[in-house]
């Protein structure tokens, strides 16, 4: 018997990804990094821009944030044409933008996003207003499939210091209890493990610890954007969360090795 072929809408859902994030003109982070990552995983990307930043590879010079209405107006026409297989969020600079993004995921039928809680850039530029954090916790986190804070971001979310693997585990459980289904705390900023990098995944209470030897030399700017986009892509390609995280980590590590080897 001839196998039934999937219809075009099903193929579109499997192959299209959405990013809602800031625009970095250097391409090192934000929607440009997300789009290139989605492409590397075989997905077609759509994007909505939350803020236009002024930066190069080493320094930030400012930003013009979009309004919540502007972000919403970018996404709604896309929903008329596409069904998305995965989604992620990055820079959400204001309380108004957080509110509208949460509303989009709550009301539109978009898949639960991978949420990268971007707060401060690598160059030290603040990317989320302090008054947006409470709304982020109470409105967006409960809609997330996964949230991917680094150590400083996890400390901001929990209000607790994190200096060890056990404290990463406790912080992940605390953040998960805020409503998200899963938390991946990235341990790259953990000073107590100078030769090892660990990430702690708490997926609905099941904990997986990913361990890697640190790669000598500077990391790459925008690695958090790339990691969260790669995880979303893995989920969009039908992988389990654990598989998606492992594949995304391998993708980022290979990128870091490539950059390190070329000086």
Q: Tell me whether residue 92 is in a domain.
A: yes
In this predicted model, what pLDDT tens digit does every residue of 103-119 receive, in sequence order? 999 999 899 999 999 99
Residue 103 burial class via C-beta count within 10 angstroms: exposed 0-12, middle 13-18, buried 19 and up = middle
User: Is residue 25 scored above 50 in pLDDT?
Assistant: yes
Mean pLDDT to the nearest integer, 118-122: 80
Question: Which domain does 23 fall in, by range?
Answer: 1-144
Q: Say how far apart CA 40 and CA 259 lie, in whole Å.
A: 17
Q: Tell me whether residue 168 is in a domain.
A: no
218 or 156: which carries more pLDDT confidence?
Answer: 156
Q: Tell me whether residue 109 is in a domain.
A: yes
Q: Tell me whether residue 18 is in a domain.
A: yes
Pure H helices in the chain: 8-15, 30-40, 68-81, 95-107, 133-135, 151-158, 165-176, 223-236, 241-261
In this predicted model, what pLDDT tens digit does every residue of 133-189 receive, in sequence order? 999 999 999 999 999 999 999 999 999 999 999 999 999 999 999 999 999 999 976
Q: Tell me whether residue 256 is in a domain.
A: no
Q: Tell me whether residue 150 is in a domain.
A: no
Q: Which two tokens stand for residue 216?
A: 């000598």
Mean pLDDT to the nearest integer, 9-18: 66
What was the pLDDT predicted at 10?
Answer: 45
What was the pLDDT predicted at 106?
Answer: 96
What was the pLDDT predicted at 7?
Answer: 44
Q: Tell me whether residue 159 is in a domain.
A: no
User: Is residue 60 scored above 90 in pLDDT?
Assistant: no
Q: Tell me whether residue 68 is in a domain.
A: yes
Counted domains in the chain: 1
131 contacts: CB under 8 Å, gap ≥ 6: 95
What was the pLDDT predicted at 77?
Answer: 96
Mean pLDDT to the nearest integer, 81-88: 96
CATH code of the domain containing 137: 3.40.1190.20
Lowest mean pLDDT of 10-14, 25-29, 73-77, 165-169, name the range: 10-14
Closest CA to 113 of 41, 178, 17: 17
What are the contacts of 153-160 at 24+ separation with CB within 8 A? 153/117, 153/119, 154/185, 156/119, 157/117, 157/133
pTM: 0.91
What was the pLDDT predicted at 196?
Answer: 77
């Amino acid at each position: 018997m001839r196998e039934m072929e999937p219809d075009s809408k099903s193929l579109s859902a499997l192959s299209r990804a959405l990013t809602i994030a800031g625009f970095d003109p250097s391409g090192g982070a934000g929607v440009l990094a997300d789009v290139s990552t989605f492409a590397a995983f075989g997905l077609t990307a759509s994007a909505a821009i939350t803020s236009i930043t002024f930066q190069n590879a080493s320094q930030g010079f400012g930003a013009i944030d979009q309004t919540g209405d502007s972000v919403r107006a970018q996404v709604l026409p896309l929903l008329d044409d596409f069904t998305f297989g995965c989604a992620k969020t990055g820079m959400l600079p204001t309380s108004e933008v957080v509110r509208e993004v949460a509303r989009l995921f709550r009301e539109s039928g978009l898949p639960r996003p991978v949420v990268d809680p971007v707060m401060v850039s690598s160059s030290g530029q603040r990317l989320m207003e302090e008054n947006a954090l409470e709304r982020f916790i109470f409105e967006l986190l409960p809609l997330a499939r996964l949230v991917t804070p680094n150590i400083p971001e996890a400390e901001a979310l929990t209000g607790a210091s994190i200096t060890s693997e056990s404290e990463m585990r406790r912080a992940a459980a605390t953040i998960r209890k805020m409503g998200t289904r899963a938390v991946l705390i990235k341990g790259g900023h953990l000073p107590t493990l100078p030769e090892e990098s660990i990430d702690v995944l708490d997926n609905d209470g099941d904990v997986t610890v990913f361990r890697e030897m640190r790669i000598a030399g500077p990391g790459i700017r925008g690695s958090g954007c790339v990691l969260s986009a790669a995880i979303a892509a893995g989920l969009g390609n039908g992988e389990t969360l654990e598989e998606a995280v492992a594949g995304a980590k391998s993708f980022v590590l290979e990128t870091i090795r490539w950059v390190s080897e070329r000086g």
